[in-house]
Chains A and B, each alone.
Chain A
Amino acid sequence: MSSPAARALPTGAPPDEDLLEVTDLVKHFPITRGILRRTIGHVRAVDGVSFRIAPGETVGLVGESGSGKSTVARLVLRLLEPTSGSIRFAGREIAHLPAKELVPLRRRMSIVFQDPVSSFDPRMTVCSVITEPLEAQGISTGREARRRAGELLELVGLSAGDLDRYPHQFSGGQAQRIAIARALSTDPRLLVCDEAVSALDVSVQAQVLNLLRRLQAELDLAYLFIAHDLNVVRYVSDRVCVMYLGRIVEQGPADQLLADPRHPYTQSLAAAIAADPRSGVRRRRGVVRGETPSPSDPPPGCHFHPRCPYAFDRCTSVVPVPVAAGPGRTASCHLVGEARGA
């Protein structure tokens, strides 16, 4: 039994207060060939990923196509089962929990996708779209569920009068608001936004980003915010994880990470984000070369080494581990940390 003093003053180890704690998460997809679907190899879509999200916090996950960021989202929500590793959500290990036991936990985590309209059944009214999770979870039905749906619509800036319309009658930004209302219907603690604003026009994108911020403050939501636009991620996130070919190469507080990136890949991303039109700053030219290799055949050692301007022998054979790169920051690069002076 621990004494009250020990509980009040946690020692060395970080306080166990994370809403989500992902450790060494791995997901391999088999590559099959022929009518017998013989497995001839594996795509290591997620290859040892660790991160945490505190209640009410926003963690941004950035990466280009093939980085595995969307697979991480699906693993966290247990829409996919991981090959190995641990996912602790609200204090419970869920990495291999059977579907039945996941049901009550699913209330506490939701997702919003890039293209909301295609994820809705076109024959369903806005009311049915929003109340479906409530009924599936047995939270409420009928008139009570409809009342809740009306409240949710008002919460996301639409009107309860829209309940009997169909999603395709709404603009892209409004449809995304409906998707957010649906995702919030079961009162989740964690909302995964998978490129949720990427397809929207900039004027509407700003509206939805403001809405997400307001909802976070009002409902104490945590976000796992996945996007490829670095400026958008910096704006919404408290902390950012940068993924490249299935691995997190760098993580840390959003402002510091992008103002002073340590990993050469993050440096390339930061340099490549389009110029700031207002200040007339143009992007630095020629910092990156080539394209991301296929995740089915990633380069050995550091995955980034064939494109890295600083690569040396060790990078081609030894996988770099995360090392401290400042307060609250890590980077997986042989040139960062103690190796820097060597």
Chain B
Amino acid sequence: MPATVPTPRSVAPLLEVEDLHVEFDTPDGPVEAVTGVGLTVGAQETVAVVGESGSGKTVTALAVLQLLDGGRISRGRVLWDGTDLTGLDRRALRRIRGNEIAMIFQDPMTSLDPLYSVGHQIVEALRLHSRMSKRAARERAVELLARVGMPDPRRRLDSYPHQLSGGQRQRVMIAIALACSPRLLIADEPTTALDVTVEAQILELLRELQAEYRTAMLLVTHDMGVVAETADRVIVFYAGQVVEHGPAADVLRDPQHPYTAALLEAVPGRETDRAEPLAAIPGAVPPPRAMPPGCRFHTRCAMAWDECARDEPQLYPLSGARAARCLRHRSGTAVPVATGKGA
């Protein structure tokens, strides 16, 4: 059964990923990094994909744009405005990338070309996707740099990436991403490499631009704080699967999957009692080749009982446009112990 996250809106979603499986070849044979992931992003919606390293969140984001390096989609569909991107040729894909879907990454240095000035790269992006004279594109580039809060934008056109700070480089990437007014921006850990005061500025900028350009955003992050601040909906990944999804505020306040709850508890917050040890999750994420049977989280779960090691949980729908992949929510399942609320 394809696990697809329903949009709360009645209109068809912009992006719809259905039952996505992604495989990578290794010397020991193929390994599945993403197993049956489904998600949707509606127009102008911000959806956060949250998880730890190895959860499959970045692989899913790259699969949307067919940018998997060494991996392949072995099953499932990626519907963009109704068209399946997995069947498109490179030319058709290129039209969608940049024009309709843009992407920014954690480290802009890897996506900016060190040999060309910032201005040249923005002008290139503009002219690649729309007919525009060089001069007009340069003027537009100044406007874009000014819009993303670059100090002294006209002079910055002639700067090279290495002459900019991390925050400024991310501003340039955002300017390039917005150059063609995409309908969806995929942002993979866009603030992880930045200082906190700069992170605050970049998140605020993304929020403003999203409202201004009416762009939807798929935000990949490991940081629940960033989710709380930006997302309408959140999708929690664990070990290559979606384990929980729903409206961000509801999921964060009252998580229904033990992993989501444990993840929230493990981070020290402003109010965390310094006299008490942190509620750490024991063990580590299992490697893709050694997934435990039953629920993939059961070996680390404080609420697991014997069924969890045997039955593979589905993503069970809950009220309030939510769902959780936990046997406690399977209808007819008698939960053996009273585990209290959420956490």
Which residues of A line the B interface, CB within 8 A? 64-65, 171-174, 201-207, 209-210, 213-214, 228, 230-232, 234-236, 254-255, 258, 268-269, 271-280, 282-283, 285-292
Contact = CB atoms under 8 A, between A and B. Distances in A.
A129 to B, nearest CB: 20
A206 B281 contact: yes
A254 B264 contact: no
B71 interface: no
Interface string B52-96: 110000000000000000000000000000000000000000000
Given A174-B284, A280-B253, A289-B201, 6 more contacts: A201-B53, A206-B267, A268-B197, A272-B200, A277-B224, A282-B229
Contacts of A204: 280, 284
Nearest to A64: B195
Nearest to B227: A277
A288 B228 contact: no
Contact of A283 (B52, B200, B224): B200
A276 B195 contact: no
B121 to A, nearest CB: 21
A291 B149 CA distance: 12
Contact of A278 (B198, B253, B262): B253
A213 B204 CA distance: 36
Interface stretch (B8-16, B34-42, B270-278, B325-333): B270-278
Q: How many of chain B's residues touch chain A, expressed as a range?
A: 35 or more
A291 B225 CA distance: 21
Interface in B16-56: 52-53
A291 B274 CA distance: 31
B270 A273 contact: yes
Interface of B: 52-53, 151, 165-168, 195-201, 204, 222-229, 249, 252-253, 262-264, 266-272, 274, 277-282, 284-285
Contacts of B229: 274-275, 282-283
A231 B272 contact: yes
| Cβ-closest 10 pairs across A and B | A274-B225, A206-B280, A64-B195, A203-B281, A235-B268, A201-B52, A277-B228, A277-B224, A206-B266, A206-B278
Contacts of A274: 196, 199, 223-226, 228-229
A280 B228 contact: yes
A278 B264 contact: yes
25 contacts: A64-B198, A172-B53, A201-B52, A203-B262, A203-B263, A203-B266, A203-B280, A204-B284, A206-B279, A206-B281, A209-B280, A228-B195, A230-B196, A235-B268, A268-B197, A272-B199, A273-B196, A274-B223, A275-B229, A276-B271, A277-B252, A278-B253, A279-B269, A288-B197, A291-B165
Contacts of B266: 202-203, 205-206
Nearest to A66: B195
A145 B280 CA distance: 32
Contact of A280 (B196, B199, B201, B249): B249
A292 B274 contact: no
A280 B284 contact: no
A141 B274 CA distance: 39
A275 B197 contact: no
B200 A288 contact: yes
A223 to B, nearest CB: 14
Q: Which of B223, B225, B270, B285 has the most CB of A within 10 A?
A: B270
Nearest to A171: B284
Contacts of A276: 225, 228, 269-271
B284 A277 contact: no
B297 to A, nearest CB: 11
A172 B200 CA distance: 28
A272 B197 contact: yes
Given A269-B196, A288-B197, A210 B268 contact: no
B43 to A, nearest CB: 24
Nearest to A255: B274
A92 B310 CA distance: 62
Given A64-B195, A210-B277, A282 B268 contact: no
Contacts of A64: 195-198
Given A201-B53, A210-B280, A234-B274, A280 B195 contact: no
Nearest to A62: B196
B195 A202 contact: no
Contacts of A230: 196
A174 B282 CA distance: 12
B269 A231 contact: yes
Nearest to A265: B197
Contacts of A283: 200, 229
Contacts of B272: 231, 235
A202 B272 CA distance: 15
Nearest to B253: A280
